[in-house]
Amino acid sequence: MVELIKKKREGKSLDKEEISYIVKGFVSGEIPDYQISAFMMAVCFQGMDSDETATLTDEMMRSGDLIDLSEIPGIKVDKHSTGGVGDKTTLILAPLVAAAGIPVAKMSGRGLGHTGGTLDKMESIKGLSVDMGGEEFIDKVKRYNIAICGQNKSLVPADKKLYALRDVTGTVDNISLIASSIMSKKLACGADAIVIDIKVGDGAYMKTVGQAEELAKVLISIGAKMNRKVRAVITAMHEPLGMTIGNALEVKEAIDTLQGKGPTDLTELCYELGSHMLVLAQVAKNKNEARKTLEQLIESGAAFDKFKELVRIQKGDISVIENTDLLPKTEYSREYKSKKDGYINQLNALDIGLASVKLGAGRETKASQIDFGAGIVLKKKIGDFVKKGETLAILYANDSSFFDKAIEFMDDAYEIAAEKAKEKPLIIKTII
């Protein structure tokens, strides 16, 4: 292992056998954390070429169980987001795409830090379970075209161990390590094609479009080497997506969107990503045809019916979906008001996400307990004109002492000026 660390430190490429030795040795415990840490730091300084990155992905993917979806008819298309604030697209896209006749076998994650997790949002629905074995997961997708569950403990153990180490050694933001982490999980879950929503901006891991494009090209390259089709859509995360941040609040907004009453940006993003999924699944010839199909599924109520079916088959309480007033609520709320007249030119997604964590909606550590009812409802967004004293957002918490901590981040999030700033696009670029 010392020789391999030196080899990568000197900028040389590692072959398949060498990468396989590293991954298997780390998972088995034969190679200690400190040597893997040194190796990943060498990768951060020297990088990996496309063959090395594809090999690392393949070895990580094969480090545990693989889910075989081949018995499910049709092209299985998955969607992944690199994480953002207010991103509840999976709750909308999964039933919407499944209603179009495409099998959606989705394994999702939990939130950590300022980004929310799909599983946490789903568990704010009373009774709903995201835990299931591989056979039950596949059976649900075969029977109902949809299932959303948590990652199996035996699935891609190399990624779990590597990510935990990357998080504490300052090696999270290397493109090859990010790409192999994303793709190893997606490929282990049996997807034939993948649409990846790469968030860029203040509230995302990718801070520039250039970084996002580089990641997109690496993800597509890995997919090509493994005979999978990958499309990357680079989207803005300079402000939160939609109007809600927090688990139950986001579930309600997802339901509104499935009923055709969602905010414009969230609705538009779901149509964009969903259209690519329909084209990759070969149920639509092009994006225009795909979009019309998706719009019809929302207008007819079929998408919302599929969401209710998803909740039912995963043991959730349907009455909560039919009457969202039954979703978890908080004891306290506080209005956050504008300190002056002007246009909102900045609504920093990272600060808003951190404010929601302080209210109890997110985790500061893996052991943190989430308050499903806590969060933020935005009343104004970038480009809106506001008057002094007008409500910008409503904060929700079950401990009134949390408001002061959250408001510090809210103060940092907003920039209000006399002149209106130039509008930024939501969909920045698609890379195929």
80 is catalytic: yes
**Tokens at 207, concatenated:** 């801070």
Exactly one of 8, 76, 88, 166 is catalytic; name it: 166
According to DSSP, the residues that pair with 206 across neighbouring strands are: 200
C-alpha to C-alpha distance for 28 and 161, rounded to whole angstroms: 11
181 is annotated as an active-site residue: yes
Task: Please identify which of the residues 8, 76, 79, 80 carries the catalytic annotation.
Answer: 80
Q: Kindly give the pairing relationship between strand 385-386 and strand 342-347.
A: antiparallel
Structure token pair of residue 101: 């006749």
d(CA 386, CA 409): 19
Query: Pick the catalytic residue: 181, 184, 275, 338?
Result: 181
Residues 6+ apart with CB under 8 A from 153: none
**Which two three-digit tokens encode residue 420?**
């209106």
Given 160, 185, 231, 252, which residue is catalytic? 185
| Burial class for 2, CB neighbours closer than 10 Å (0-12, 13-18, 19+) | exposed
Q: Give the span between the Cα atoms of 209 and 231, in whole angstroms.
A: 16
Query: How far is residue 93's CA from residue 77's CA, in Å, rounded to a whole number?
Result: 11
What is d(CA 351, CA 305) in angstroms, rounded to the nearest whole number? 35
Distance of alpha carbon 41 from alpha carbon 399, whole angstroms: 41
Which listed residue (159, 256, 265, 351) is catalytic? 159
Q: Is 159 a catalytic residue?
A: yes
Q: In terms of Cα–Cα distance, which of 287, 41, 348, 31 is closest to 174? A: 41
* Structure-derived torsion over alpha carbons of residues 348, 349, 350, 353, reported in degrees to the nearest 10: 130
- Identify whether 166 is a catalytic site residue: yes
79: closest CA among 96, 62, 66? Answer: 96
* Amino acid, res. 79: K
Q: How far is CA 149 from CA 56, 108, 241, 287, in A?
A: 25, 6, 23, 28
Cα-Cα-Cα-Cα torsion 263, 293, 69, 230, nearest 10 degrees, comes to: -70
Note the maximum CA span of the chain: 64
Cβ atoms 95, 146 nearer than 8 A: yes
Kindly list the catalytic residues: 80, 159, 166, 181, 185
